[in-house]
Amino acid sequence: MADEDKQDFKELFQRRLPQYVAAAAACMGGFSLGASIGWSAPCVELLKDHYGYDVFSTNVIAAVFPLGAAVGMPVVPFVIDRIGRKWTMMSLVPAFVLGWVFITLGVTTMAVLTAGRLITGACGGMFCVVAPMYSAEISEKEIRGTLGVFFQLLLVIGILYAYCCGYARNVVVISILCGIAPLVFASIMLFMPESPLFYMTKNNEAAARKSMRFFRGPDYNVEPEIDEFREQVERSKRERVTLSAFLRRPVLKTLGVAYGIMLAQQLSGINAIIFYCETIFKQTGVDLDPLLQMVVVAVVQVIACCISASLIDQLGRKVLMVTSFSVMCVCLIALSIFFLLRDKHPDVADCLFWLPLISASLYILAFCLGAGPIPWAYMGEIFPTKLKGTASSSAASFCWLLAFLVTVSFSTVAEGLGNAVVFFSFAIFCALSVLFVIFCMVETKGKTFAEILREFGTYDID
C-alpha cells in the first residue's frame, strides 16, 4: 500500500510539476524584491562608514523603497487586465534594471541613489500583487496555498542573497550582484504561459485551454475548471469597477480583512527589523559579527518559508497566522526585555548575550511561517475577478505605505523612546493581530474561487 501511495504521489507531483515551475518562475520577481529589501541592511552601515552619509540620509535611502512600492501600486490595475499577468511582470524588468543602474552609479550622490531606490521599490511592490495573483490562477485548489507561499520563499532567499553579497563590503559590488536578479527572472518567465483566467477574460477559450493543459497535463480533464472560469468571467462582466462597487457591504468586508492582515503584518515591526538588521545587532553590544547574525536570520527565514509551504494546504491559513503572530509576540517581548536590561542592568544583559539572535531568529521564523507569506497569497484568492486588480493593489499600496512609515520613523522613535519601548509596542500589535485573525479572517484552504467568494458574500454581486 505504501508503494502504491508513493507511486501515486510521484505521478501527481510529475503532473503538477509545470505549476510548481511556473509559480517559482513568477516568484523570481519576489527574489528581485528580496534582494532590494536586503540591500539596505549591509549597505546602510557601509554608506555611513565609507561615504559619509548621516543617519537622516540613510533613513531616507532605506525608507524610500517602501514608499516607491506604495506609489507604484496604482499602475497595476490599468495594465494587469489589459496585457496580462505575465507581461505586466515582464514589463517591469527594464525599469527594475534601470533602478539598479542608478543605485550602482549614484552611490556618491544621494539624489541619484534615492531615485534608484524609488524605482526598484515601485517595481518590487508591483510584483507583490501580480506574482501571487498569477500563482493563484494557475494552480489547483489543493496546492494553491503552497504555490502562494513561493513568493515569500523566493523573497527571503533574495534577502539572504543580498546579505551574503554584503560580505563584499562594497556598495557598488553589492548593487551589481543584486541587479542581476531581474534579468534572471525575465530569462525564466519568458517561457511560461499566461494565466488561463486572463485568457478567459479576453474571450480566448482556445488559448485558455492550451494554457490549462500545460499546467494540468495533456490527459487531465480541464473542462470543469474552464467552465468555472467561464462562469466567473461572465459574472465579472456584469460588475463595473466604480466606487459604488467597492462600497457594497460584502466587498467592504473583504477589503477590511485584506487591509487588516496587511496592517497586522506591518505593525508587527518586520520591516524595521529587516531594514535595520545589522544596526540593531550592533546596538545589542553582543560580540558577534552583525553581518553573520543577519545571515543566520536570513537562513531561518528560508527554512520557515519551506515549512510554511509544506503546511499551508494541510493546516490552513488561520492556524498558521495565529501561530505566527503568537510566537512573534513572545519574541518581541524577549527583545524588549533584553534592551531594558542592557540599559538598566548591563551585567545581566551580558549574561544573556544569546537572547537577541535567538529572539530575532525565532521572530523571523514565525513571521515567515504565516504573517509574511499568507497575506500576499490570500489577496490572490479572495477578490472577485473584475475587482481583483484594483482591490489587491489598494491593499498592497496600504501595506507598503505602512512599511514606509515604520521604516522612516523607527530609528527616530527608537532613539527617543528606546528600543525596549518600540519592541514592546510591536508585541502589543502582534497580540491584537491574533484576535483579528481568529474573529475576522475566512479560511480558504481547499476551496475553489467560487466557494471563497460565496463565503465572503461577493459571488452573487452583479
The string of DSSP codes covering 69-113 is HHHHGGGHHHHHTTTHHHHHHHHHHHHHHHHHHHHHHTTT-HHHH
Decide if 197 is inside a domain. Answer: no
pTM (two decimals): 0.81
Is the pLDDT assigned to residue 313 strictly greater than 60? yes
Decide if 205 is inside a domain. Answer: no
Between 177 and 296, the higher pLDDT residue? 177
pLDDT of residue 333: 94
Span of 84-93, 104-113, 339-348, 353-362 with lowest mean pLDDT: 353-362
Is the pLDDT assigned to residue 2 strictly greater than 60? no
Residue 11: burial class (beta carbons within 10 Å; 0-12, 13-18, 19+): exposed
Is the pLDDT assigned to residue 361 strictly greater than 90? no
Decide if 337 is inside a domain. Answer: yes
The average pLDDT across 26-40 equals 90
pLDDT of residue 384: 83
pLDDT of residue 461: 59
The average pLDDT across 181-189 equals 93
Q: Count, in order, helices (H) and strands (E) of the chain.
A: 24, 0
| pLDDT tens digits, 368-407 | 888 988 998 888 788 887 788 888 888 988 988 888 888 7
CB 354: neighbour CB atoms within 10 A?
11
The average pLDDT across 59-87 equals 87
Span of 153-157, 256-260, 339-343, 423-427 with lowest mean pLDDT: 339-343
pLDDT of residue 239: 61
Decide if 24 is inside a domain. Answer: yes
pLDDT of residue 376: 84
The average pLDDT across 18-37 equals 92
Decide if 230 is inside a domain. Answer: no
Is the pLDDT assigned to residue 334 strictly greater than 70? yes
CB-based contacts of 342: which residues, under 8 Å, 6+ apart?
Answer: 284, 285, 349
Is the pLDDT assigned to residue 272 strictly greater than 80? no
Residue in the block written with cell 491574533? 434
Decide if 268 is inside a domain. Answer: yes
- Euclidean distance between CA atoms 456 and 454, whole angstroms: 5
The average pLDDT across 441-448 equals 88
Confidence of residue 462 (pLDDT cuts 50, 70, 90): very low
Confidence of residue 270 (pLDDT cuts 50, 70, 90): confident
The average pLDDT across 112-140 equals 92
pLDDT of residue 91: 95
Decide if 222 is inside a domain. Answer: no
The average pLDDT across 114-125 equals 93
Cell of 258: 485584506
pLDDT of residue 282: 62
Average pLDDT, the chain: 86
Residue 442's domain comprises 2-192+238-456
Closest alpha carbon to 403 in 221, 245, 217, 271: 271
Is the pLDDT assigned to residue 288 strictly greater than 80? no
| pLDDT tens digits, 290-301 | 677 778 778 888
Decide if 207 is inside a domain. Answer: no
Is the pLDDT assigned to residue 105 strictly greater than 80? yes
Question: Rg of the chain over CA atoms, in angstroms?
Answer: 22
The average pLDDT across 192-201 equals 93
Confidence of residue 118 (pLDDT cuts 50, 70, 90): very high
Domain count, the chain: 1
The average pLDDT across 306-323 equals 89
CB-based contacts of 389: which residues, under 8 Å, 6+ apart?
Answer: 76, 77, 80, 81, 129, 133
| pLDDT tens digits, 205-243 | 999 999 999 999 888 899 999 998 888 888 777 666 677
pLDDT of residue 209: 94
Confidence of residue 101 (pLDDT cuts 50, 70, 90): very high
The average pLDDT across 53-82 equals 85
pLDDT of residue 240: 63
Residue 9: burial class (beta carbons within 10 Å; 0-12, 13-18, 19+): exposed
Is the pLDDT assigned to residue 203 strictly greater than 50? yes
pLDDT of residue 281: 62
Confidence of residue 338 (pLDDT cuts 50, 70, 90): confident
Between 77 and 195, the higher pLDDT residue? 195
User: What CATH number is given to the structural domain containing 336?
Assistant: 1.20.1250.20
